[in-house]
Each structure stands twice: as structure tokens, then as C-alpha cells.
Structure 1
């Protein structure tokens, strides 16, 4: 069994898409060991579909695409369970603590505050590292506003993003 020329091009596109998303800062980076095998798994599943459905000739794009959908669904499930920024991720838990503090600050119309002041409002004590990691996640998600005053960076909740 071999891929048709169109299926081979489609497989190259799939492979390249996966490789790009394995890079640092991309969605598959944190599950790279699992996701890096997905192109190979797509080819195997396509082969199984080809044999089970008694196809003849070259493997076509339609069969490859059906295999891609199956493997991507499994990869999405793996990512939801083990990827970063999932409900069990410590950064997500800590960011919730920071968001509650920012809401309390906002409800009192206290405006922008220095990170150490925001940290004091947190109901759960967070180490500097955990606070900074959770805050960076909130910044990346545009959940907070930043304002520079002199050499100090001040923080406020982006209440528009929380709706």
C-alpha cells in the first residue's frame, strides 16, 4: 500500500502542522513525547482503515483525513488530561487565587497595585515562583492589565475578559 500523490502531500502538511506545534510556547510542547508520535499513528490508522474497508490501489486523501480526525481526537483527550493550563495544573489553581484577589481589589476601586501588594490580597499564600508563574499565565491570557509607573509594573484585573 502506498499513498496517492495528493495523500502524500496531505500527510506532509499534517506532519509539518504537528512539528510546528511541538515548539516551545506552542500547544503541543508540554505533551511533545505523546504528540510527536501522532503523524506515525495517523499513517497506521489510515492503513487499518484501508485494509478493514478492503480498499485497493493507493491510499487516498479521504482515508488519511479520517485517520487524522481519529488520532487528533485522541491527542485532544491526552492534552486535556496532561497539558498545561488544565484544571489540575497548579498554575491554574494559583491563578484562580490571584483572580479572586484582583476582584476584591477591583470591587474596592483600589485600581492598579504593585505585585507584592496584590500578593498580600491572596487568600492562599503563594511563593514568589508560583505567584509569578500564575501571574504570567494570566498575562498571557489577557486576564490582567499592566501599567508601568517609573520602574514599577502595576497590576489590575481585566474585568472585561472575565465576563
Structure 2
């Protein structure tokens, strides 16, 4: 993460508010998160953008956190046709059938207990690690799990923001026309 402005950051700072908002909603479905990040533009550095994201994630209410999580598919079942979802959950793609079945069972138990999907920053994690994480976190209290989810969402948002800044074309032209590539 560079300490200076990048072409991607320059594009994000210069994008019209509607296009930037669309790009942010593709990163995190939490409306209050997107508005908080949008409202602090322009950002002098990528680190300043990441810090604003972290602050906006920390400030999410229970309702805002639920809104942000609603767009995330369960681990082991990425959104069909969504390359970002498939990339982020790559660690489950080659999992053996028994592990996949146990993950599905634990996902369902987790959803019954907490009322939402098991959220983890799965980028770079293999299936065994993901399974260990859900086994551990299913024993959390709702309060502790809410904070674990907030931490994981913050990691996901940072990774997605970094990808946005690395995108050579940026999503802004398509977002201005009302379509996200």
C-alpha cells in the first residue's frame, strides 16, 4: 500500500459522487459505510482511504453491520457469476466433499445461532482454515461474534478498496451509466 497518491486514488477522488457511491457499494453494501467513506473525499493517500474505511466500519450500528453482511454469500457458496466472490472464496473450491458437507452444516448452524451468514475474510485461506474458523467462532457470544464480524468486514473492505485502486480503468464510466461491470 503506497504512501502516495496513485492513478486509481486520483480517479476515485475525481469520480462524480454517484459513480463513486456505486463503486463503494460494490465493495460494501452498508449504506452508512459508503456515505462515510464518500464524505471524506478527496483522500491524499491510499492509507487515508483505508483509515476512513476502518473508521466507517467501526462506526457501523447493528443495523448497518447487518446491511453490510447481507450482500455476502455463505462460505463455500460464492455468488454465481461473481468473479470477486469466487476469487475471495477460492480456498473452498477444491475442498474434499466431507469438508464441504461439514462447512455447509456449520454454516446453517451458525446462521440459526446468529441470524446471518458466517463472515470471514477468506482471501488466501484454505478450506481447512475456514472450517477451523467457523468451528471456533460458532461458540462466541452474539456480542463477541458481532465484533469478530466487524473485524473481518474491515479486512474485506480494505482488500476490495485496494483492488478498486489497482483497477487500470476503474468502474466509474460504467457506474455513471447505471451499470457496474
Would you say same fold, with TM above 0.5? Answer: no
TM-score by length of 2: 0.28
Flag the structure with higher helix content: 2
Greater gyration radius = 1
- Of structures 1 and 2, the one with the larger relative CO (CA 8 A, separation 6+) is 2
Q: Structure 1-normalised TM-score?
A: 0.30
